[in-house]
Amino acid sequence: MQADYVIVGAGSGGCAVAYRLAEAGHSVIVVEAGGSDAGPFIQMPGALSYPMNMARYDWGYQTEPEPHLGGRRLACPRGRVLGGSSSINGMVYVRGHARDYDHWADQGADGWRFADVLPYFRRMENWQSDASAWRGQGGPLHVSRGKRENPLFDAFIAAGQQAGYPVTEDYNGAQQEGFGAMEATIHAGQRWSAARAYLRPAIATGHVRVVRGHAARVVFDADNRATGVVLADGQTCHARAEVVLAASSINTPKLLMLSGIGPAAHLAEHGIVPRADRAGVGQNLQDHLELYLQYAASQPITLFKYWNLPGKAWVGAQWLLARKGPGASNQFEACAFIRSRAGVEYPDIQYHFLPIAVRYDGQAVAEGHGFQTHVGPMRSASRGWVKLASPRPEDAPRICFNYMSDPQDWQDFRDCIRLTREIMGQAAFAPYLDREIQPGAHVQEDAALDAFIRAHVESAYHPCGTARMGRRDDPRAVVDPQGRVIGVDGLRVADSSIFPRITNGNLNAPSIMVGEKIADHILGRSLPALNLEPWVHPDWQQAQR
C-alpha cells in the first residue's frame, strides 16, 4: 500500500494524472470507492439515463432544499465507479470558450490563460476529423461527432441560421459562437470514458494499481506534509512523494475538511482540529441550470418509436451485436452557443438538441412523438457551498447551490425561453413541429415564466469551484496555480474543484484538461503556450447576433 503518488478518485482528472505519472515511470495508487465500469448501461451511449440513476454507480447526492426554487431538492449525481462522472455523464465534449480561461488567469490562476491550456486540450484529444491547428489527434481521448441521421438535427441548425445566428464548423475550435454539430467522447459506438482513455492504459504499464476503498482523510507528518490517505476500513495508502485529490467538486472539499483543511469555525463545529484555516474550502460552488423546452412532433420521426419494450430490445440488440444503431449515439448531435444580448462579448447561453421529449431520469412525456432543446445560461453569479454534515467519512456532505439567488438569473432564463421560441418558430421546423408542450404557448408573462422556471429548472450536473485556484496570498484561494493546497505541503487537487469560475458548456473536457496540466506541474514541466486568436463577433457590443 505504498507508491510514489496516491490519487483519490478514478474520475476525469484523477485518471489523467495517473496516466501521465505512469508514463513518466512513477508508481501510483488510485483510491476509488466505486467498482467496475463494465456492462452495457455504462458502455452503451444511448443508455445514458440509466447509470446516473443507479446507486451502484452514483453517490446519490441531493441538495439541501433550494431556497429560491420553492424548497425543491435537486439531484447532484457524481460518479462512484471507475471513470468517475465520465462513466455516467452525457458524453458531451465541450472545451469551454477561450475567454473562460483568460478570466481564470485574471482571477489569479497564473499560467492558465487559453494560450496555456490549449496545448493540453490538443495533447489529450484524438479528434476524429481533419487536422486543425486548434485540435489534437493521437491523444488518449477519442472525440467524435454523431451521424445526424435524424432530420431534426439539421432542422435545428438551419433554424438557428434562419434566425440570424452564425453556423460554426467547430465550436471547440476557433469559433464557439453559433449552431453546429455536437461532439462526444464516443468511439466505435461505445462510451470513451476517462477509465478507457487513461486508467486502463496506465494500469497496463505496471506502474498503476487501483485500491478499492472509501478515503476517510489525508495523513500528514509533523512538518504538515501529506504522506498518505487513510481509508474507512483503517488501511493507509502511503505516498512517498505527493497525495493528489481528484474526488469531485463535492467529495474533494469534504475530504479536505475531514483532513483539517477548511474554514476553522466550521471544522470546530464538528470537532476537527484545523490544520490549515482556508475559508474557501467548500465555498464558490457553481453549476449550470437548464430547462427542457419540449415540442410535439407532427411526424413520427423521433426516438419515441423505440420507447417500448420491442423497440428497446431492437436498439439493444443492434448495439450488442454490432455497436451500431440509436444505442451507439448519446443523441446529442446538434447544439448551439449564443449570446443573450448585445454587449455580451462571448456566448452565455448553451443549447443541447434532442430528438425525443424525455427527462434525464428516462421518463418520456405522455404526448408521444416530440423533441426538445435543453437551454440555460452559462455564467450565473449565484454561488453555493459544500459543508460537512458530520465528522464521519461515511456521511454525505451538505450541498446547497443557492440556485437562482442572483436577480439576473431570472432575466437570463426568461431570455433563454423567448430566444428559443423564436428559433423554433423558423421555417426549418415547419414540417416537423406541431405545438409547444412545455412550458406551453399560454405561458408568456414574466410572472408565469418565472413560475415555470422555479418549478421545472434542472441541474445540468456541472458542479465546480469548491477549492478555487488563485494566488497564494488570496485568502479565498484553496490551491495555487500548480494545484498545491495552500497551507500544507505534498497535497494537490486535480479536478473541477479548482475552477475559479465555471466554463462555457459541459465540464468533462475541462476536468480532464486540469488533470493533464496538474500532472505536468507535478512533473515539473509544461507545454509551450499556443497563441491562437478565437473568433469573437465583430459587432458584439451593438448586436446580439
Length of the chain: 545
CA–CA distance, 501 with 284 (Å, rounded to integer): 8
Question: Is 89 known to sit in a ligand binding site?
Answer: yes
C-alpha cell at 214: 472509501
Exposure class string for 473-509: b at 16+ Cβ within 10 A, else e? ebeebbbbbbbbbbbbebbbbbbbbbbbbbbbbbbbb
Question: Is 14 known to sit in a ligand binding site?
Answer: no
Question: Is 92 known to sit in a ligand binding site?
Answer: yes
On whether the CB atoms of residues 90 and 332 are closer than 8 A, the answer is yes
Given the residues 442, 462, 521, 537, select the one marked as catalytic. 462
C-alpha cell at 133: 491547428
Other C-beta atoms within 10 Å of 92: how many?
22
Other C-beta atoms within 10 Å of 161: how many?
15
Other C-beta atoms within 10 Å of 259: how many?
27
Which amino acid, one-letter code, is at 338?
Answer: I
CA–CA distance, 280 with 527 (Å, rounded to integer): 29
Which amino acid, one-letter code, is at 94?
Answer: V
Nearest of 506, 504, 289 to residue 413 by alpha carbon: 289
On whether the CB atoms of residues 263 and 284 are closer than 8 A, the answer is no
Which amino acid, one-letter code, is at 241?
Answer: A
CA 471, 472, 476: angle at the middle one, nearest 5? 75
Reported as type and span, the H/E element at residue 309 is: helix 309-322
* Helix-, strand-, coil-residue percentages of the chain, each rounded to 5: 30, 25, 50
CA–CA distance, 513 with 229 (Å, rounded to integer): 24
Question: Beta strands of 310-432 (E only): which ranges?
Answer: 334-338, 349-354, 370-377, 385-387, 398-400
User: Half-sphere exposure of 356 toward its Cβ, with a 13 Å CA cutoff?
Assistant: 19
Would residue 103 show up in a list of annotated catalytic residues for this protein?
Answer: no
Please spell the DSSP secondary structure of 274-296, one letter per residue. Answer: PSEE-TTTT-SBB--EEEEEEEE
Question: Is 478 known to sit in a ligand binding site?
Answer: no
**Cα-Cα-Cα-Cα dihedral sign, residues 11, 17, 23, 27:** negative
CA–CA distance, 360 with 234 (Å, rounded to integer): 37
Give the annotated binding-site residues. Answer: 81, 89-92
Catalytically annotated residues: 462
Annotated binding-site residues for FAD read: 81, 89-92
